[in-house]
Amino acid sequence: MPDTLPELLSALVSIDSVNPSLVPGAAGEAALAHWVAGWLRERGIEAVLDEAAPGRLSVIATVRGSGGGRSLLLCAHLDTVGTDHMPDALEPRIQDGRLYGRGAYDMKGGLAACLLALQGAQGAGLRGDVILAAVADEEYASLGVQSVLGRITADAAIVTEPTSLELCVAHKGFTWHEITTFGRAAHGSRPDLGTDAIAHMGRVLGQLEAYGHDLGSRAPHPLLGHASVHASLIQGGQELSSYPECCTLQVERRTLPGETAGEIEREWTALLSPLASDPAFRAEHRTTLVREPFGVPVDAPIVQTLRGQATLILNQTPTLTGMSFWMDSAFLAAAGISTVVFGPHGAGAHSAEEWVDLESVGQCRAVLAATLRAFCA
C-alpha cells in the first residue's frame, strides 16, 4: 500500500465513494472505508468499522497514549458528490503541483493528511490518545459522524475540510422549512367557487422577501456576515383549467452562531401571522431539518495550540476565518468537543474540475503532526 503523500492521495481519489443518498445506486463509502482500515492496520494502527446504516461505513482508528494526556480527534469524511460531467473523475492526475480528481479537494486531501499524521503519532511518546474518524455521509445527512459520536469522544478535534491553511473558527448553520398554502379546487371558469392557493403563496413570498431584507439589516457576525433566507423549491396546482388546491414552498434559512431553532420558529410565526387575518388564507409551516451553526472561542486550547504550531511550520500566523457552508464540526462541537477546522488549499468542490494543492496537503500534515504532539504530550 502507498506510503508517499501523492501515492496515498491518488489511491484515495481512485476509489469511488460517491454518496448514494445524493446519487441513487452510487458506490457509497464501503470500499474506501475497508481500504483505509486496511492501510491503517498494515501499519499497526488499531482500526474498526462503524456502520451507521446498511453499507454506510466509517472508520475509527486510535493511536493510544500512555495515559494522563489530552486526547485529540482528527475528522475527515469519506464520501464525495457525484461525477456527472466530470471526465476521468476517478483517474487522479498530477499537474503543476496539483492533484486533480473527484474528492481531491473535498476532502480526500484532508483525509490523506490525517492518515499520515496519525501514522506519525506512533512512537511519539504521547500520553493522550490520537483518534481518527473517517466518516460517511457528510455530503447529505451526516449519518457517519452522528454514529461515530455514539462510540468515541475527545478533549478536542480538528476537522480537515479545506481552508487554504487558515483556521476556521465559525461556520453557518441552516434550517429547512416547508410552507403549504391551501385553496379550493374548482373549474377555472368559476372564480365564485375556487380559491387560488398559488396566489396565496405569493403573499408568503412577499413576506419572505421582507424577512430577507430584515436579516440583511441586522448586525453581521464578524467572520460570517449576515444570516439569509431564500425560496428553494415551489410546487402547486393540478392543471391549467383549475384553481389550485394547494401550493408547497421549500425554504432554506442560513443561520449564525447564537441563533437558535426556537428563535427561528418564532420568526416564522411572526412572518405568517399577519396573513392569517384574512379568513380565506390558510397556511401550514413545519421545520424539516436543523443543522446548528458552529463557533469556537479563539482562546480555546486547541485553537491556540494549532495556531502556534502552524505559525512555526508555515512561517506566518494563519488567519482566523469563518465559512459560509456547513460542516460536521457542528456535530462535534454540539457533543462537547472543542473543535477547529484546518485543511489544505485547492478548488472545485462539487464542480466539474476539482483539485488540491499537494504542497498544502503536506503542510497540513506537518501542522497536524506538530499539533497532536503538543496537545497530547
For residues 121-147, b (16+ Cβ closer than 10 Å) or e, as one string? beeeebebbbbbbbbbbbbebbbbbbb
> Please, what is the Cα angle at 183 between 177 and 184, to 5 degrees?
150
DSSP secondary structure letter of residue 138 = T
pLDDT digits (tens, 9 = 90+) for 286-339: 999 999 999 999 999 999 999 999 999 999 999 999 999 999 999 999 999 999
Position 3 confidence tier, pLDDT thresholds 50, 70, 90 = confident
Closest listed residue to residue 283, CA positions, set 238, 240, 236, 227: 236
pLDDT digits (tens, 9 = 90+) for 136-191: 999 999 999 999 999 999 999 999 999 999 999 999 999 999 999 999 999 999 99
Cite the DSSP H helix spans in the chain: 5-14, 30-42, 109-121, 143-148, 197-217, 261-272, 301-314, 329-334, 358-375
| Domains of the chain, start order | 5-171+293-375 (3.40.630.10), 173-291 (3.30.70.360)
pLDDT, residue 144, reads 98
pTM greater than the 0.95 cutoff: no
